[in-house]
């Protein structure tokens, strides 16, 4: 029997909709029945780009009142995530909400209360956790291929490359980001979230963290920065490094940003050599065991993670399952991210679980 289609609305047709939308549009068991944005032309432009004819709404309430919409993908500014998620859950819709889940822990707690009484599912959209090289590294770790991990290092280098900038920043995308009342941090919050989510997914809960986050006049940049933490219940440390190389070209089809991740274990080492950028001329995943190096080829185009995240949500709804990144996991990642700022501001180690 052919599977039914999940009827989904995409809410927020700004910058990240260009990456977050196509996975739903192309999924055989999903129909994008509505697009919503107060700037009507953005929704119309996306519909045209994707070759679909959905309902176009400029008000979020209209999406919630549409009985044909059973699920929403929220691609709106971060400070709107809690209220929009809760309203959708109360209206009986399944919710997938872009990372970060909320600008503060109170927002995540409010979502958690709504999730408890909802009959529908909630998850945070985290494309990193569906990016095949990161998924492969998790598989290798879980199989014990490198033994017990003692160090997880995540380095992000931002360079330049105008030629391949495919995900154009929408007008206004920096306005809410630069407002500390709406966005609690710069790139260590907005984009560092992805790396912290990966770090927690690979290594588990984080007991305490210390950090030096550089605040710049631009507010968003925050580079160079470094955070170091200890995982809970294991002798394993994590390190996040964020650096700028403004005069260096970084190859890649999307952002001029290179990620290099390394996991050192008792029996070997795993490298993930890219995410969006393609700086290194190396396979996406490598396993180093003494004198033996194994190159692992998995799909590594940056869109794979977004498409996988879309499929993860649709497939879970159809199977009546909870998708990855539930509210508890998302709150944990949020607490780690905010703890890094508190640690940097205070010069002391901070336990993420104590961040309220
Ligand atoms: N996964 C990733 O790699 C990634 C990358 C960039 C942004 N993001 C996240 O996605 C979210 C959106 O970021 P962005 O860069 O696309 O922002 P943006 O400002 O470019 O787009 C937000 C869109 O939401 C619309 N909007 C505002 N209020 C709305 C409402 N009430 N109902 C419906 N739409 C509304 C705006 O008009 C705008 O078009 C943020 O939480 C951000 O952190 C994720």
Segment 25-77, tens digit of pLDDT: 999 999 999 999 999 999 999 999 999 999 999 999 999 999 999 999 999 99
CA distances from 207 to 68, 154, 188, 229, 235 (A): 44, 18, 19, 7, 11
Segment 214-273, tens digit of pLDDT: 988 888 899 999 999 999 999 999 999 999 999 999 988 888 999 999 999 999 999 999
- Give, to the nearest 10 degrees, the angle between helix 132-142 and helix 303-319: 70
Q: Is residue 19 over pLDDT 90? A: yes
Read out DSSP for 274-325?
-SS---SSS-SEEEEETTEEEEE-----THHHHHHHHHHHHHHHHHT-PPSS
Domains of the chain: residue spans and CATH: 6-126+305-323 (3.40.50.720), 129-300+336-346 (3.30.360.10)
| Per-residue confidence band for 164, with pLDDT thresholds at 50, 70 and 90 | low
Segment 95-119, tens digit of pLDDT: 999 999 999 999 999 999 999 999 9
Question: For 149-153, what is the mean pLDDT?
Answer: 98
Q: Compute, in angstroms, the gap from residue 316 CA to the centroid of ligand 1.
A: 24
Q: Compute, in angstroms, the gap from residue 75 CA to the centroid of ligand 1.
A: 5
Question: For 306-310, what is the mean pLDDT?
Answer: 98
Phi, psi (deg, nearest 5) at residue 80: -90, -10
Question: For 122-151, what is the mean pLDDT?
Answer: 98
Residue ranges around ligand 1 (CB below 6 Å): 11-16, 36-39, 42, 60, 75-78, 80, 98-100, 127, 170, 172-173, 190
Name every residue whose Cβ is closer than 8 Å to that of residue 223 and which is 6 or more positions away in sequence. 158, 187, 214, 216, 242, 243, 244
Question: For 76-87, what is the mean pLDDT?
Answer: 98
Q: Which residue has the tokens 């780009």?
A: 49
Q: How far apart are CA 235 and CA 244, in angstroms?
A: 30
Q: What is the pLDDT of residue 1?
A: 55
Whole-prediction pTM = 0.97
Q: What is the pLDDT of residue 184?
A: 93
Q: What is the pLDDT of residue 2?
A: 67
Asked which of 76-85, 159-168, 304-313 is least confident by mean pLDDT, the reply is 159-168
């Amino acid at each position: 029997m052919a599977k039914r289609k999940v009827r989904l609305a995409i809410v927020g047709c700004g910058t990240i909709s260009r990456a977050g939308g196509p996975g739903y549009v192309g999924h055989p068991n999903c129909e994008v029945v509505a697009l919503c944005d107060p700037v009507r032309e953005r929704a119309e432009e996306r519909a045209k780009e994707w070759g679909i004819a959905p309902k176009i709404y400029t008000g979020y309430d209209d999406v919630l009142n549409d009985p044909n919409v059973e699920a929403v993908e929220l691609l709106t500014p971060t400070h709107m995530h809690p209220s929009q998620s809760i309203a959708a859950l109360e209206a009986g819709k399944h919710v997938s909400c872009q990372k970060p889940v909320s600008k503060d822990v109170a927002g995540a707690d409010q979502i958690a209360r709504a999730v408890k009484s909802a009959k529908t599912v909630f998850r945070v959209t985290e494309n990193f956790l569906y990016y095949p090289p990161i998924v492969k590294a998790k598989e290798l770790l879980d199989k014990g291929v490198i033994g017990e991990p003692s160090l997880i290092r995540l380095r992000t280098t931002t360079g330049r490359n105008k030629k391949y900038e495919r995900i154009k920043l929408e007008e206004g995308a920096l306005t809410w980001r630069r407002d500390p009342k709406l966005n609690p941090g710069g790139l260590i919050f907005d984009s560092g979230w992805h790396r912290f989510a990966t770090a927690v997914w690979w290594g588990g809960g984080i007991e305490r963290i210390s950090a030096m986050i550089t605040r710049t006049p631009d507010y968003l940049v925050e580079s160079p920065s470094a955070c170091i933490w200890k995982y809970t219940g294991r002798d394993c440390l994590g390190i996040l490094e964020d650096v700028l190389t403004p005069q260096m070209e970084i190859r890649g089809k999307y952002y001029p940003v290179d990620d290099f991740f390394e996991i050192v274990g008792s029996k070997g080492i795993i490298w993930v050599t890219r995410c969006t950028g393609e700086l290194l001329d190396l396979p996406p995943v490598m396993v180093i065991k003494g004198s033996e190096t194994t190159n692992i080829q998995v799909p590594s185009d940056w869109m794979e993670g977004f498409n996988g995240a879309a499929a993860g949500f649709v497939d879970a709804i159809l199977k009546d399952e909870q998708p990855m990144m539930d509210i508890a996991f998302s709150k944990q990642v949020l607490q780690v991210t905010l703890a890094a700022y508190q640690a940097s501001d205070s010069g002391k180690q901070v336990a993420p679980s104590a961040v309220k």
